[in-house]
Chains A and B, each alone.
Chain A
Amino acid sequence: MKKIQLSVVVLGLLLLGTISMVNADEFTQADLKRWEGEYMSVVEKGRNLWGSAELGTNGVACGQCHPNAANTHPETYPKFQKQLGKVAELRHMINWCIRNPLEGKDLETDSAEMIALEAYIHWERRGVALAPGKH
């Protein structure tokens, strides 16, 4: 009985190993399409937040000063932000804008909203070469 159980476990481990190797190496056009769709749905959520008053308390939206997320320079982060006196990430500047012109409260930096805003900003900046640290 014990022998049989052991063989099943060993066989199972072998099968799992085989299957996981296949999963790591292969994905289909359908997978690519689905992943892109997932990403774009978050970009869309970010675009909606960009134009909405819900991030702040005074009705001001990100897009009022940053049409198409222009002048946000996501490719330059992390960089030394002289006004903060330290190297900052894009999300820290997003929260700076939410606190000041939007008169709102910081988003959690790993919140779904923050990820959506970053996804939208990066999408509008696609194709631009990375330039970390650039001012």
Chain B
Amino acid sequence: MSYPINRRDFLKGAGALAVTASLPISLVEMVFADTAENFTFAYISDSHIQHISGNKFVRNWDRGLIRAVAEANLLTPKPDFVIYGGDLAQLGSKAELNHGAEIMSALRYKTHYVMGEHDYYLDMGAYWEQLFGPQYYSFDHKGVHFIVLNSIRTYDDWTYNRWPTAEQRMLEMAGLDNPNGSPFMVGEEQRKWLKSDLNKVNKKTPIVVLSHSPLQKIYKGWNFWTEDAEELQDMLKPFDKVNVLYGHVHQIQYNQIGNISFNSVMATAWPWPYPQSYAQVESHLPKLTVPINRADPFFERDATGWQFVNLNSGKVDMTFNLTNNSSRTVKFNPETGQPEDTTYQGEDQRIAPQTHY
């Protein structure tokens, strides 16, 4: 017997806040044969807390994270923990990380953090580590093996030899479309660590990999990309149940590559265009992905949302609740062996706002 979280249960807890249709957090449920071991976790990501000067921060981005934290505290049933998916800061400064950490401190749950490029490229994650812990690690929870990777590293030459100041390095990587940027990668050091970590894990143990960038190649120009994605996928191949959850892209994406299910999480800050809406280049959004509705800029929280995931038999089964939009459910279809939207998957079932151009 599973213990799915549905919207009604959630809203019982959330009534005090008069929450409307959507929440910028992700709630993840793992469902296994032994129901006593069932558990959920929430997922908040990409807040981009941005310092203006003195004690001023960009209000819009602050509000996204404050709302996510407040709503996560009201979840029913309570999640066992929270994952923060990276890019807490915009330019990696102590002011931004401190302010973000203070907002996050209102969360009533243990939180595991993932490194984003906006947290990293000022001081190579040094201050972030003081606040949140190591840049890559693994942990076990009720029979599931969780792996956190810093997937936003890049070539050493770019990182250490190219830029006269740390501030400039951070700014160059912060511009999503900056041609002076450099492709993300996990890198040799972590791949070596991952190999020895995975050696200790039974092949039947469900695995959840948490990274900031997609561990698949979608569009290099905006770093919807991880340079060593294939090597990482190969390392995960021997396991029965593998899920990769990632942030960075600020939009709904899902995909199936071999045994690995991929799902992105939403940003609390702002949405990004799908790569195909940049007319000058080729990109490779997974064909499976039915896009989120195009954002209405007049609603500053639109195109953020919350989702909850069942991992029945180790496969992702995700429901998205979207601001000012209808809910979406993407379920793993055992007949086709891939995640599919339960309403919109067929070409003839899509609605006009899902057309990105």
Listed in ascending order, the chain A residues whose CB lies under 8 Å from chain B are: 51, 58-60, 63-68, 70-71, 73, 83, 93, 96-97, 100-101, 124-128
Could you mark each residue 292-315 of chain B with 1 if its beta carbon is under 8 Å from any beta carbon of chain A, else 0? 001111101000000000000000
- Can you spell out 26 A-B residue pairs with CB atoms less than 8 angstroms apart? A51-B178, A58-B50, A58-B52, A58-B56, A58-B59, A59-B51, A59-B58, A60-B50, A63-B176, A64-B270, A65-B272, A67-B273, A68-B177, A68-B278, A70-B273, A70-B278, A71-B277, A71-B294, A71-B295, A71-B356, A83-B298, A97-B297, A124-B278, A125-B279, A126-B279, A128-B279
From B58, B221, B272, B275, A60 is in contact (CB under 8 Å) with: B58
Q: Which residues of B contact A66 (CB under 8 A)?
A: 273
Listed in ascending order, the chain B residues whose CB lies under 8 Å from chain A are: 48, 50-52, 56, 58-60, 175-178, 221-222, 270-273, 275, 277-280, 294-298, 300, 356-357
Q: Which residues of A contact B357 (CB under 8 A)?
A: 73
Asked whether B176 lies within 8 Å of A67 as measured between CB atoms, the reply is yes
| Total A-B Cβ pairs within 8 A | 64
Q: Which residues of A contact B52 (CB under 8 A)?
A: 58-59
Q: Which residues of B contact A70 (CB under 8 A)?
A: 273, 275, 277-278
Q: How far is the CA of A63 from the CA of B222 in the complex (A)?
A: 12
Q: Would you call the interface of chain A mostly helix, strand, loop, or mixed?
A: loop
Q: Would you call the interface of chain B mostly helix, strand, loop, or mixed?
A: loop
For residue B107, give the distance in angstroms from its CB to the closest CB of chain A. Answer: 26
Q: How far is the CA of A18 from the CA of B176 in the complex (A)?
A: 54
Q: How far is the CA of A73 from the CA of B58 in the complex (A)?
A: 26
Q: Which residues of B contact A126 (CB under 8 A)?
A: 279-280
For residue A9, give the distance in angstroms from its CB to the closest CB of chain B. Answer: 55
Q: How far is the CA of A96 from the CA of B52 in the complex (A)?
A: 21
Q: Which residues of B contact A96 (CB under 8 A)?
A: 297
For residue B294, give the distance in angstroms from its CB to the closest CB of chain A. Answer: 7
For residue A127, give the distance in angstroms from its CB to the closest CB of chain B. Answer: 6
Q: Which residues of B contact A83 (CB under 8 A)?
A: 296, 298
Q: Which residues of B contact A93 (CB under 8 A)?
A: 297
